[in-house]
Structure 1
């Protein structure tokens, strides 16, 4: 099977060589393999380091909307393989995963996407050496609803359901996976590690604020707007519309306050508010941390805010994404 490996990067000079070399090792015994790097206007040495390898390099211009989805969309548009392997720039491919994944796709025509276990490691970690498993698991894979940034797709299925939406700031993988499952295809994850994912540990409240500033909470709302009035709206809403839950709670609270004010039953409102505060206090006691409760509340607010703002954004047709790019190599 022909394979196109698509890498998306943004200022990842610290890992790009490790990633490319892992793909070259993993595909060394295969014919008809292409590696395409799509870079989102990096300002470090990512491109210069990548040019040492026999790969294709495309750089997107900074003047357009740059998202992970856009990188995957452009990479797919420039690829030719029957199987499309998507990887992020902060990953390292486990060479033993690829033949297992190809075997699953060859023997199970109804499976459209294969992923694997994601091993999170600190950025400064050394590539771990894994010993071969002494015993094989009873099952080779298990079914999942979504994959993350690392997965291998059948090209013909992407052609049928549509590629990544390049305008989405986030939630592009669930969007594509829901479309795939709606066509009665399966998505599976192997029990074998697929990639090492080199990343900093979550930074609590400041990490949430950083994600909010980068518009990474907008994706669910954008998807709801794109799917409004289509057969995909309710399937997506049921799985990814949880940002509407706190919004519904706030609207219900405002309506209850207005009713209590109009009927002279403010004591009922204050009683309910006191119960809510007591619930938060109990949650803080259970988690042994007021900070964790505050982080959880802030995250819910950011998700709600992103859902509303994303829904209010005017959707642009994915096929109209501007091809402002430079073919580097």
Structure 2
């Protein structure tokens, strides 16, 4: 049996995919392994570059099905490894991390997945700066049990098969959390190491440019889509406790409902202006940054709008095979 499958999910990653593949091939050296490039119908040279290497290359048939949850599941459909790692096309994998993660999975059968530190190579925007702070907090303890493996991880195939599918193809984001909560529901442990797992060369764009990218790519729908997934898999309570943006999105709707009601009973204009200014003032005091306060409040409101829209989006069964074409079969 193949020991490890590394799935590289890509979408227009011609600038990064070569190094991602080289790092994945180096990581499986010494193991019976495979590298699978799972492409979401790129329009650049990503697929052509990937076929230069001894990898499997599979491409999403219908570009309208692009979601963050599609790439991992598509790659998993074509994988055979006892352990499966999901790697973004703009990441470079650390072979030392893979060696230690495999040893942990071999020895501790209750562990369903192992993640590591994500080294962010760019800090051009507030979102990445916040992500770095969260990872730094998590690094304070090795072998830390966590809710999910954000940024990728090495998973046990047998554990994934027990929960039905690798990644929910309906999700524009939170696909790693959804996988994590399903694995934990079956008694699996997810552990985070202090070891660096990858170098991440993220979006080279500023804070506001990235925000608009989230809107036009559909990622702002993800909190509502996750809530729908939670209803289907019966983990709504955990979502409220563990995914901060879900109660925030619901809270934004409740906040404005109360503000409108008070305004109708008193004076609408002063009440609504006060309601608009209050969260910005509070966040400015809390973060000591007007720019960060505006970014946070705007993100909350976009997420609240997306929450409503995401709940209403039609879902297809997550385990349904994803239509694809094999551009290059297994080496």
What TM-score results when the alignment is normalised by the length of structure 2? 0.85
After superposition, the C-alpha distances for 1:59-82 in whole angstroms (9 at most, x for unaligned) are 112444112311111111111111
- SS of structure 1 residue aligned to 2:319: helix
Q: 1:41 aligned to 2:41? A: yes
Given that residues 143 and 192 in structure 2 are in contact (C-alpha distance below 8 angstroms), is that contact kept between their aligned partners in structure 1? yes
Corresponding position of 1:69: 69
Q: 1:204 aligned to 2:207? A: yes
Compared CA separation, residues 221 and 274, structure 1 to 2 (3 A): closer
Structure 1: how far apart are the matches of 2:178 and 2:140? 31
Corresponding position of 1:194: 197
Alignment partner of 2:151 out of 146, 149, 152: 149
Structure 2: how far apart are the matches of 1:278 and 1:246? 13
Structure 2: how far apart are the matches of 1:282 and 1:114? 38
Given that residues 93 and 195 in structure 1 are in contact (C-alpha distance below 8 angstroms), is that contact kept between their aligned partners in structure 2? yes
Given that residues 64 and 322 in structure 1 are in contact (C-alpha distance below 8 angstroms), is that contact kept between their aligned partners in structure 2? no
Given that residues 110 and 186 in structure 1 are in contact (C-alpha distance below 8 angstroms), is that contact kept between their aligned partners in structure 2? yes
Structure 1: how far apart are the matches of 2:52 and 2:271? 67
More helix by share: 2
User: Mean alpha-carbon deviation: is it higher for 231-240 or for 159-168?
Assistant: 231-240
Structure 2: how far apart are the matches of 1:77 and 1:234? 30
Compared CA separation, residues 269 and 154, structure 1 to 2 (3 A): same
Alignment partner of 2:226 out of 197, 219, 223: 223
- SS of structure 1 residue aligned to 2:48: helix
User: 1:270-309, aligned counterparts within 5 Å?
Assistant: 270=270, 274=274, 277=277, 280-284=280-284, 287-309=287-309
Compared CA separation, residues 48 and 142, structure 1 to 2 (3 A): same
- SS of structure 2 residue aligned to 1:86: strand
Shift of 1:256: 3.1
Structure 1: how far apart are the matches of 2:62 and 2:17? 20
Structure 1: how far apart are the matches of 2:233 and 2:20? 39
Structure 2: how far apart are the matches of 1:138 and 1:70? 32
Compared CA separation, residues 190 and 256, structure 1 to 2 (3 A): same
Corresponding position of 1:16: 17
User: 1:84-99, aligned counterparts within 5 Å?
Assistant: 84-99=84-99
Corresponding position of 2:263: 257
User: Mean alpha-carbon deviation: is it higher for 286-295 or for 175-184?
Assistant: 286-295
Shift of 1:288: 4.6
What TM-score results when the alignment is normalised by the length of structure 1? 0.85
Corresponding position of 1:131: none
